[in-house]
Structure 1
């Protein structure tokens, strides 16, 4: 349900569609239900083959242009301000932010129990027809990825559906100098409920195009609300701190491992030196034993020398003399 009083509500008493009745001359076929065989932007059934009708309920007035509101601040009511697009949140919905390599938000997903969807705005010509080209290219890209592709007729015209491991649905709406694309991504058994949630959000979204000239198909800038940006910065800081702590822990573990390796190497060196000392001592003891045994063997082989005769007679004469001296 749209919030805020819009200019077309004041003038005609009814809600406006994307570009319907615009003073710049945009036709109303973009948001109105297409005629048989004709989709938004003039796309015919022959462009993409058989088109099946989507069952949907509700009034799909939007998406709206911020210029449709008497007071642009009223467009912020019950909508999440993402800069170029203001998106209403479904009950129980949560935000999931994708960042590019520079840390800038590249996509903001609305996550529900049924899956997730994202709504983004792009620069487009003043006249409708860009979604027709984009839908054809998306279908071709899905076929090249070996996905099963079907085309369904939704509230705003063609919806491109690709089925593989999961289901992805592309919904597009042409506006004045902008095009909105909604990407719905979920499981086969929840995709119908998820698509209904996405269409409801898309129908009440508001586009803030701005006056800056941009090349066609340029994504309009995405900006997070300050509260979400602060949460994202806090989460990034926490992740950086955790990464730093993990790096420090890894460095400490590497240093401890290096110290253990050094200690082990020193122990190994000490054991090797001790073993070498013991081996040297054993060799020295063995050499000393061999030398002692050699000396003993040499001494055992030396013959005993007899006493000289003169020395024996001298000894005997001396004894006789002593005896004689004793007898006299």
Structure 2
């Protein structure tokens, strides 16, 4: 069963140990937590959904929502939960880190142009974007990895924003990124590959929809 992630929902005992040992415990949490590159993926019992470029845990009660281009490729996979919708995407990045700082500034500018109120907060992985839009409360988290950038988005009602953010942190903390060896232009989305059972389900739904329109 998927939990709340390491270092993000500590028990009272964990908190007491951190206070006792100081920064050493915090440093260990940083080393233990993800997201992970495939080369250092943990051998644990966490059940993850294999989407090719990312392997991510599905929170209890979460449902999958898939966006597919008319041409066929999968555009995005969302995790719909009781507290909001989570989206985790991976992109090609340069060997040097720091792509998120650049991407985050551009994203903030675009959100403001769309009428959202945007501010930044400091989180476990650096600068996070928080936006209030007419449709939802949004939080964007970016993690620079070895030749990849992982972006997580939490979207939901304002009153559930904190719970949705905690769940996003937990998902990112257990996510594994599979960059692959192919050279790709910076910012290129890493391909999403759906499990065969999900592909069949989508094809059946599309076929039923087409038959209904034909009728």
Give the TM-score taking structure 2 as reference length: 0.82
Distance 1:163 1:201, change over 3 A: same
Q: Offset at 1:76?
A: 9.1
Does structure 2 retain, via aligned residues, the 8 Å contact 1:84–1:222? yes
Distance 1:76 1:107, change over 3 A: farther
Q: How big is each residue's C-alpha offset from its partner over 1:128-184, in whole Å with a ceiling of 9 and x where there is no partner?
A: 100010111111111111211110111101110111212111100000000000111
SS at match of 1:173: strand
Aligned to 1:142: 111
Out of 73, 76, 80, which is 1:111 matched to?
A: 80
Give the whole-Å Cα distance in 1 for the aligned partners of 2:165 and 2:66.
20
Give the whole-Å Cα distance in 2 for the aligned partners of 1:223 and 1:176.
21
How do residues 20-39 of structure 1 correspond to structure 2 at under 5 angstroms?
Answer: none
Q: Does residue 66 in structure 1 map to residue 32 in structure 2?
A: no
More helix by share: 1
Give the whole-Å Cα distance in 2 for the aligned partners of 1:146 and 1:121.
26
Compare relative contact order (CA 8 Å, sep 6+) and give the higher one, 1 or 2: 2
Structure with the greater alpha carbon radius of gyration: 1
* Residue ranges of structure 2 left out of the alignment (5+ in a row): 4-25
Give the whole-Å Cα distance in 1 for the aligned partners of 2:102 and 2:83.
29
Q: Does residue 242 in structure 1 map to residue 212 in structure 2?
A: yes
Q: What count of residue pairs does the alignment treat as equivalent? A: 190
How do residues 308-327 of structure 1 correspond to structure 2 at under 5 angstroms?
Answer: none
Give the whole-Å Cα distance in 2 for the aligned partners of 1:76 and 1:85.
17
Which region of structure 1 is more displaced relative to structure 2, 149-158 or 60-69?
60-69
Does structure 1 retain, via aligned residues, the 8 Å contact 2:41–2:176? no
Aligned to 1:129: 98
Give the whole-Å Cα distance in 1 for the aligned partners of 2:55 and 2:180.
13
Q: Offset at 1:193?
A: 0.5
Q: Offset at 1:103?
A: 3.0
How do residues 124-203 of structure 1 correspond to structure 2 at under 5 angstroms?
Answer: 124-165=93-134, 166-203=136-173
Moved over 6 A (4+): 57-60
Distance 1:63 1:195, change over 3 A: same
Distance 1:127 1:59, change over 3 A: closer
Give the TM-score taking structure 1 as reference length: 0.55
